[in-house]
């Protein structure tokens, strides 16, 4: 293929009129100027604004996810597991010597008085209590739950529906 050895020469002749001229150079320079001015768009419009939108969207998504997660927790929370002791007075299996639970409650040797001011007791129920390390929310109490305050400032809650007793540490 001797001809191929002369491809440069052949091309120079066959494509003689095909040259990168001044016109093409001007076109490139003009295009560069246009792209350059596009690059000079203020930073907040070019980068910051879209970034802020993206970050905000991510934040909203995270909050939405957290919120649904919290709902899950609060739905499962009422399943109290740490029951200290207790039963209804009428319950034969309950601790001996349990006095009238409308006035007091006895657990083991200790007798707990009903809090004299019921609304205050409700206020206490609305605040946070603890069973072991678990935080107890007011929503954990069913309506009608009776609340007792111990001499050590512990709270005893007696659930109305089944008479179960919960010892809460304030």
Report the interface residues with another protein, using CB under 8 A.
1, 3-20, 24-25, 27-29, 31-33, 35
In the complex, minimum distance from the CB of residue 47 to another protein, in angstroms, rounded to a whole number: 17
Our CB check for another protein shows the closer of 2 and 151 to be 2
In the complex, minimum distance from the CB of residue 20 to another protein, in angstroms, rounded to a whole number: 3
In the complex, minimum distance from the CB of residue 53 to another protein, in angstroms, rounded to a whole number: 26
DSSP codes, 18-51: ----HHHHHHHHHHHHHHHHHHTS-HIIIIIHHH
Our CB check for another protein shows the closer of 18 and 96 to be 18
Contacts of residue 169, Cβ cutoff 8 Å, sequence gap at least 6:
129, 130, 131, 132, 154, 155
Torsion angle (degrees, nearest 10) of CA 119, 123, 124, 129: 150
Our CB check for another protein shows the closer of 18 and 93 to be 18
Task: Give the number of C-alpha atoms closer than 13 A to the C-alpha of residue 107, restricted to the C-beta side.
Answer: 20
In the complex, minimum distance from the CB of residue 39 to another protein, in angstroms, rounded to a whole number: 9
Q: How many CB atoms lie within 10 A of CB 107?
A: 19
Our CB check for another protein shows the closer of 19 and 73 to be 19
Tell me which residue of 124, 119, 93, 94 sits closest to 107, measured CA to CA: 94
Our CB check for another protein shows the closer of 7 and 62 to be 7
In the complex, minimum distance from the CB of residue 50 to another protein, in angstroms, rounded to a whole number: 21
């Amino acid at each position: 293929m001797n001809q191929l050895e002369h491809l440069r020469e052949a091309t120079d002749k066959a494509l003689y009129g095909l040259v990168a001229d001044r016109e093409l150079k001007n076109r490139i320079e003009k295009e560069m100027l246009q792209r350059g001015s596009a690059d000079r768009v203020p930073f907040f419009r070019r980068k910051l604004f879209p970034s802020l939108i993206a970050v905000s969207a991510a934040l909203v998504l995270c909050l939405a996810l957290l919120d649904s997660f919290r709902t899950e927790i609060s739905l499962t929370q009422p399943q109290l597991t740490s029951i200290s002791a207790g039963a209804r007075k009428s319950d034969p299996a309950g601790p001996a010597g349990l006095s009238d639970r409308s006035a007091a409650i006895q657990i083991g040797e200790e007798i707990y008085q009903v809090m004299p001011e019921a609304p205050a007791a409700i206020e206490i129920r609305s605040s946070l209590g603890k069973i072991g390390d678990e935080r107890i929310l007011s929503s954990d109490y069913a309506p009608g739950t009776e609340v007792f305050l111990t001499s050590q400032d512990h709270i005893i809650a007696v659930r109305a529906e089944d008479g179960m007793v919960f010892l809460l540490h304030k």
